[in-house]
Every structure is written in structure tokens, then in C-alpha cells.
Amino acid sequence: MLKKKVTVNGIPRTLIVDPKATLADVLREQLGLLGVKVGCGTGHCGACSVIVDGKLVLSCSTKMSKVADEAKITTVEGIGQPGNLHPIQLALVAAGAAQCGFCMPGFVVSTKVLLDQNPSPTREEVRAWFTRHHNVCRCNGYKPVVDAVMEAAKVLRGEMAKEELEFQMPADGRIWGSKYPRPSAIAKVTGTFDYGADAGLKLPPNTLALALVQAKVSHANILGIDTSAAEKMPGVYKVVTHKDVKGKNRITGLITFAPNKGDGWDRPILCDTKVYQYGDAIAIVCADTEANARAAAEKVRVDLEVLPAYMSAPAAMAEDAIEIHPGTPNVYFDLPIVKGQDTKPLMESAAYVVEDEFYLQRQPHLNVEPDVGFAYIDEEGRVTIHSKSIAIYLHHAMIVAGLGLEPEKLRLVQNGAGGTFGYKFSPTMEALLGVACIATGRPVFLKYDYYQHITYTGKRSPFFIKLKYGADKKGKLIAMESDWIVDHGPYSEFGDLLTLRGAQYIGAGYNIPNIRGMGHTVCTNHAWGSAFRAYGSPQAFLASECLMDELAEKMGMDPLELRYLNVYRKGDTTPTGQEPEVYSFAEMIEKLRPLYKAAKEQAKKNSTSEVKRGVGVSIGIYGCGIDGVDSSEISIELTKEGV
Ligand code: FES
């Protein structure tokens, strides 16, 4: 242990620390400064930024042994607090930069150092500073942050009053269309907004820290699990395996459409007979500290018979591939699309035919806050699970039978959550927390490091698409043939729904009267497929829009004009045969046309013999809400004053 005298936010502190502990952990766990957020934990996201002796430091990757004695440390709490905001914080609130807010304390601290060093930065210098100091935001696109820095700099230079950044309620009290700040914004820019890891530090002292034993192979039969050595490790309370799970030990994939060849009960909470993907949870060590739990997890022995791993849809579709879920074919859902006449003769007689193959890869969501949650038994005897779930009732339905609980004995609560971008539409750790809480009867807390977060949460599923268009001599599409294969990883959740997106969006935006195609959902051993923003739409449009460009090139026609010719107009129908509710594309293209022409001119001017510049166009469509008729609800309250 190391004795350190430091000054934190102006207050002298004497600390006894583990020299190997990180500065972030000491600030958070020993000093309770929870404005220091830990995202990646490896010094790449900037959420943990603090100031040490005037320099910007990534505290998650700074060991206490490297912190100088008498160091002066400033965290976001030392810059401004609710009720006493620093101009930087005020400006971030005013600019609407604090969305999920997980990155905000890091941006506040980083901006403070920037403006101390350079009171009049240009926008480019601000951007370069954040790039150089690893300040990452996945929500706001950076423009609001740069706007805020420029405004804060004006205040600090005395060119603008701080009050000008404060929101002024309009005289008529109407906030619609105003810059009314997000209600949580002040908490987010001051670091006082509690995310799951912060709430986890406020759990009672008998809370058990959890660590997972995870598969290090992608496909295997489990021959045995030996927990005896792990149980003898320091601080271990219990090692939980599938034998401790009271229910079905499965998370249902909630099959959405018939005919699906699986039954949806394909994802184990804790693996029992097989490993289906890298990172699968095999056991949970429950211990007094996270370090002890993780050390013991290393001691669990899992005897495996390794099987061939099918890491892409074509591999899993091969003739000799074994069934990943025995009894269910790897291609477990087929979805035809049929519209208008048979396309074969139309393709043969079309003036122009283009065809190509496309692949859109698996994508991680890369949200800054890793997955985290906790569980306890509440005062009414309910197993209560707090997590980043963005679908608590859906997740309740997906895990309750697996846990073996009566529905009223399970309660899910959403924590303050950093952006999820869709991955938390899947249950991730909820059922694991539930199993550990039931098995121990104690509050439990589980936090993934970023490696676990990447390897054991869902991803955008890749699509393999073969696509063919036939057009008449003017460029009017007359037929489309499509074949799309969805690599959905090993678990079926929403895989059929995603495959439907291919039918809805490949070729969408254009009136294509005759279509023949087939979609397939394929089980593989790669990461399971989960929701991601615009679920299924980027995969579909990558193919159909690239092929529109290829058609334009073949015809020698401008790509924008080819689109203009084909977009929906009154009476036209979508690929799945519906009449769109609005016909906005033609008018949008008319508005866009002069800008497009100007951009093309500009690109030509800026091109050199080495660097060619161009202008790309694409249309895009996405239904709002989940499947079904678009709908919305509003609640209106008439106040006593009648407004
Ligand atoms: Fe920056 Fe969400 S607001 S990561």
C-alpha cells in the first residue's frame, strides 16, 4: 500500500492506496467522486479525464504509483456544481450537447484545460484538441460540443455575459420550438447523474460482486464444469452454474413470424450442454470484491469438446455444416417476397439489367458506457433487476420463465443509462443478475469491462445480398430480384423480424411493380444479432442504392435524376405493396437538385490528378416505432389556469 498526499478539488487529502489501483478507481471508490466516469477503461474514450497539475490525464489508465505526491487533482466536481455552473457546463447545456451524457464530465474537464491554454481557439483547434485527447461522444455528433466551447470561450474572455447562456422561459410559457434544456442536462454536465456503475457503489455492504466465466471458443459441447478450485479462492461466496437455475435456463427469442423452424428457446442463461458463441456465460462467481470474483473466475475449469465454428452465414449454410442448435436447421426462417408479375421474362426483355452482390459487415454499437447492472430482493420479495434495459416489460417476458419465477415476483428497473443505440433492446446481463441474486439471496452487482462489453453483447447483423434490377430504356425500374441472407449469430431473438426488414427496405423508395425475392435467417457462431439504429435499413439500402448507381452508370444517366424518375409518386406502392402515407421524395429531390449541382461543380474544382472528389446521393427510409401501423400517443393536461 502507498500513502499519498494529494489535493483534490482544492481539498488536501491523505490516502492509503494500492499502487496498482487506477486514479479513476481511487477517485470514484475511495473519494466518492462519481463524476469521473469509466467507459473503455483503456484510455481511449476520455470519459475519465481529470486534471493533474494542470495537465489533462486519462485517470482510468493512470496507476496510483504514477501520481506524484502533492499532486493537485481537479475533477468535474471541482469545476462547477449544480447551482454554480462553470460557463463551460452552462454552454454545453445550452447547446444541447448532453444527450446520454456519459461523456460530458470528460468534455467539461478537457475543455477547461483547452481554454486555460488557448482562450481563443478556432473550431478546427477545438476539434483537433478533442481528437488528440481522446474525448469521444457517440451521441451528439460533436457539433454541439464545439458550439459550446466557442460560446464558453466568449464568456471567459469577457465578450459575453454568462447569463446569456441561461435558458429564458418565453413570456407565454410555451417551450415547443424553444431551446428548453434537457431536464437531466445539469446533472450530466456536473457528473452528478448516476449511471449503473455509480448506483452500484451505493448498494449495501453485503452486496456480492459478480464475475463471469465465459467461453473462449465459439462452438463446443460442454463435457463438465469444475468449480471446486474457484470455490476455495479468497472472498468467494458461491459459484453459480446452470444447475442453480430454477427455471428453463433459456431466454426466449420471442418468435415474431411463422413459419420459424426454431421455437425461440435457444439462448441459455448459463450454458449447460453447449457453447454457442465466444463470450457465452458458463458460470458466475459471486465474491466480496470484483477483483476476488475475477481471480476466482479464472480457476473454473470447463471441459469442452470443441466443434467447428461457423463464423459467417455461408459457412453455416454449407452442406456439411452441423446444426448449431440440434434439431433446428441453421437456416431457420425463410421469407419470400412476391409482387406483380414473374420477373424472369421481364429481366430477359429489359433494356437495362444490372446485378451485383453486397455484404454489410457486423457492427458493434460502441456506446461509451459498458454494460452494467445489479439485482436484489425488494421489500415485497420480488427479484428486482436494475440494468440498461430499454425494454423492461419485453425483457421481463423474455427472461421470467428462464429464471423460474412467477411474473409478479420479477421486477425490472431501468438505470440512468449511457446511450445504447439499440443493443439494450436485447437482454444482456439481466437474467445473469437474476440467477445470481436468487442463488445467493444477496444483492449482486455485475459490471463488464469493455472487452466483455464488445464480446458479449449483440451486434448489427451482417447481410449478404444478391440484387438485380431491370429497367426500361428511360431508366424506369420494371423488375427486381433479391436474395438476402441474415447472419444473426446463434440466438434467434428478432432474427425473423430483421429478415422482414430486407423485404421492406431493399428497393424501397422506388416504385418497382414486379419483385421476386427470398430472405433467409441463418444461425452462426458469431456474436448474436441485436437491434441497432435503423434496424435492417442500412444493410438493405447499401445494396439497393449502390445498384441504383450502377444502373445510372450503365445508362450514362445522372444518379440523382435516375432516382427522381423512380421515386414514389401518388398511386405507387412500396416493395411490400403498401401505398406510402406521404410522397415526399420527388419534392425533396427538386429542392436538393440545385445544391447537388453546385456540390458537383465544387467537387470538380477541388479535384486534382491525385485526388478525385465526387458527390454521392442515396435515399433512405425507416419506419418509426416498432412493426405495425405507425401510431403515437400524447397526454395533455389542462392546468387550473386553463393553459
Ligand atoms: Fe456523449 Fe452520449 S452524450 S456519449
SS (H, E, C) 420-445: CCCHHHCCCCHHHHHHHHHHHCCCEE
Low-confidence spans in the chain with pLDDT less than 70: 258, 624-631, 643
419 CA distance to ligand 1 centroid (A)?
7
135 CA distance to ligand 1 centroid (A)?
10
Residue type, 33: L
450 CA distance to ligand 1 centroid (A)?
16
Which atom of ligand 1 approaches the CA of 97 most closely? 3
93 CA distance to ligand 1 centroid (A)?
13
332 CA distance to ligand 1 centroid (A)?
37
Q: What is the DSSP letter of 268?
A: E
Which atom of ligand 1 approaches the CA of 138 most closely? 4
Nearest CA to ligand 1 atom 4: 137
Proportion of the chain above pLDDT 90, given as a percent: 92
pLDDT of residue 498: 93
Which atom of ligand 1 approaches the CA of 188 most closely? 3
Cα(429)–Cα(280) distance, integer angstroms: 11
- b/e sequence 97-116, b meaning 16+ C-beta within 10 Å: bbbbbbbbbbbbbbbbbbbe
Nearest CA to ligand 1 atom 2: 100
Nearest CA to ligand 1 atom 1: 137
108 CA distance to ligand 1 centroid (A)?
12
The CA-CA-CA angle for residues 321, 322, 327, to 5°, reads: 135
Phi–psi pair at 425, nearest 5 degrees? -75, -15
Find the residues whose C-beta lies inside 6 A of ligand 1: 99-103, 137-140, 368, 418-419
Cα(495)–Cα(142) distance, integer angstroms: 33
pLDDT in tens, 100-140: 999 999 999 999 999 999 999 999 999 999 999 999 999 99
Cα(48)–Cα(35) distance, integer angstroms: 8
167 CA distance to ligand 1 centroid (A)?
21
Cα(202)–Cα(198) distance, integer angstroms: 7
Which atom of ligand 1 approaches the CA of 419 most closely? 2
Which atom of ligand 1 approaches the CA of 103 most closely? 1
> Measured between alpha carbons, how far apart are the two ends of the chain, in Å?
63
Which atom of ligand 1 approaches the CA of 100 most closely? 2
Three-state DSSP state, 20: coil
Ligand 1 pocket mutation pick from 38, 99, 111 by most atoms within 8 angstroms of CB: 99
Ligand 1 pocket mutation pick from 104, 195, 533 by most atoms within 8 angstroms of CB: 104
- Write out the three cell numbers for 375: 439485482
CA atoms within 13 Å, Cβ hemisphere of 302: 27
pLDDT of residue 510: 97
**Cα-atom radius of gyration of the chain, to the nearest Å?**
28
